[in-house]
Structures are given as structure tokens and as C-alpha cells.
Structure 1
Amino acid sequence: MDLRIENMTCGGCVRSVTKAIQSVDPAAKIETNPTARAVKLETTASPAAVLQALDEAGFPAATN
């Protein structure tokens, strides 16, 4: 799953995004690029669950 998170701009944001994703799938493989505001994600969680967790953490995401 590829995501775009407009307000992920720094290392602190990356930690928060990672924590939010891991709250729905602790085994998720996550690659973040705050410069591009992009996340590549391998997860068994549903896209809706991931997007909801990110939204609740203050990092609304759009799928690419």
C-alpha cells in the first residue's frame, strides 16, 4: 500500500505515523520518506483500518 501524508514532515512525524500503523498491525513493514511525504506499507490490516488509525493520530493519509 502506498500512502501520501501531507503533514508528515519530520522525524517526529515519522515516529507518530509508524506508531499509528503499528497499532493496527504490529508486524507491518513500513518505509517512510518525509521529504516526499510518502509511506510504503506492507500490512495484513485493511486499508480502512490503517487510514482510520492515521486519521485519529492527526495524520490523514491518501492512497496513491
Structure 2
Amino acid sequence: MELKIENMTCGGCARSVTKAIQSVDPDAKVEADPAARTVKVDTTAPGIALRRVLDEAGYPATSDR
């Protein structure tokens, strides 16, 4: 799954996004790219759960596709 996160602009943001995603699925593999403002997630969690937790963390996400 690839998500676009417009306000993820630095490494600190990327760490916060990763932490939020792993709060839903501790085994998720997360590749955050602050320069492109995207995150690739390999997870079994539903996308809606990830978007919800990212919204709560202050990093609203949209599907990149």
C-alpha cells in the first residue's frame, strides 16, 4: 500500500508516521520518503485503520493511486 502524506516533510515526521502505523500493526514494514511525501507500507491492517491513526497523529493520508 502506498500513501501520500502532504505534511510529512522531514525525518522527524517520517518517524512519527512510522510510529503511528506500527501502533496499528507492530509488524508493518514502513518505507517513508519525506522528500516525495509518500510512505510505502507492507501490512495486514486495513487501509482505513492506517488512515484513521495517521489523521489522529496529525498526518492525514490519501491513497497515492
Q: TM-score, normalised by structure 1?
A: 0.97
Give yes or no for the alignment of 1:52 onto 2:56: no
Aligned-pair Cα RMSD in Å: 0.5
Residue segments in structure 2 that go unaligned for 5+ positions in a row: none
Task: Write the deviation string for residues 11-47 of structure 1: whole angstroms up to 9, x where unpaired.
Answer: 1101100000000000001111100001011001010
Question: How many equivalent residue pairs?
Answer: 64
Give yes or no for the alignment of 1:8 onto 2:8: yes
Identity of aligned residues (%): 66
2:51 counterpart SS class: helix
Residue segments in structure 1 that go unaligned for 5+ positions in a row: none
Q: TM-score, normalised by structure 2?
A: 0.96
